[in-house]
Amino acid sequence: MSNQRKKDVEFLRKAIEVAARSQEEGAHPFGCILVGSDDDVLLEEGNGFPTDGGPGHAETNLARAAARKYSPEFLSGCTLYTSVEPCCMCSGSAYWAGIGAIVFGTTEHALGEITGDHPENMTMDLPCRTVIASGRRNIDVRGPFEELETEILDTHRKYWS
């Protein structure tokens, strides 16, 4: 396993911990972190469905907070780590904030197979790579990570059943 992959798995595990805390606090089990170019965790966000409804996704919450706190130039050297692939809204939020990389544990498509037509998680089968490729700025996208998918998806199976 490459050093980058080891680091990605380590940070994804931290995002999974944030997702677990989000669920413990009564929200959906989604979580993400923002990591700076020096590998410091700068921000973390869980899901905000109880207060924000459908737009309260962890990645959008994080991108908004990051854009308030840091310049796009700084954010271009940062990585957003998230348990589940960002939806089109969240991918767009990371794009507009200027975040330089997105790393996810499992795909939105795999999540959609679990949640189906659940009214609180109407997934869109639109890969974040497609959203990012539609823009004019390059963002490095890495994922999914097979070694974490079972763990992440088992949590969602339990939650959404």
List 45, 59, 85, 108, catalytic entry: 59
Helix (H, G, I), strand (E, B), or coil: what is residue 24?
Answer: helix
For residue 8, the model assigns a pLDDT of 98
Residue pair 113/121 in contact (Cβ under 8 Å)? The answer is no
For residue 90, the model assigns a pLDDT of 96
For residue 47, the model assigns a pLDDT of 92
Is this structure's pTM higher than 0.75?
A: yes
2 conformational bin, left if phi > 0, alpha if psi -120 to 50, beta if neither: beta
Residue pair 89/134 in contact (Cβ under 8 Å)? The answer is no
Q: Going residue by residue through the chain, which has 161 residues, state the pLDDT in tens, using 9 for 90 and above.
A: 799 999 999 999 999 999 999 999 999 999 999 999 999 999 999 998 767 767 779 999 999 999 999 999 999 999 999 999 999 999 999 999 999 999 999 999 999 998 988 887 777 889 999 999 999 999 999 999 999 999 999 999 999 98
For residue 138, the model assigns a pLDDT of 92
Give the C-alpha separation, 114 to 77, whole Å: 34
59 in active site: yes
For residue 50, the model assigns a pLDDT of 64
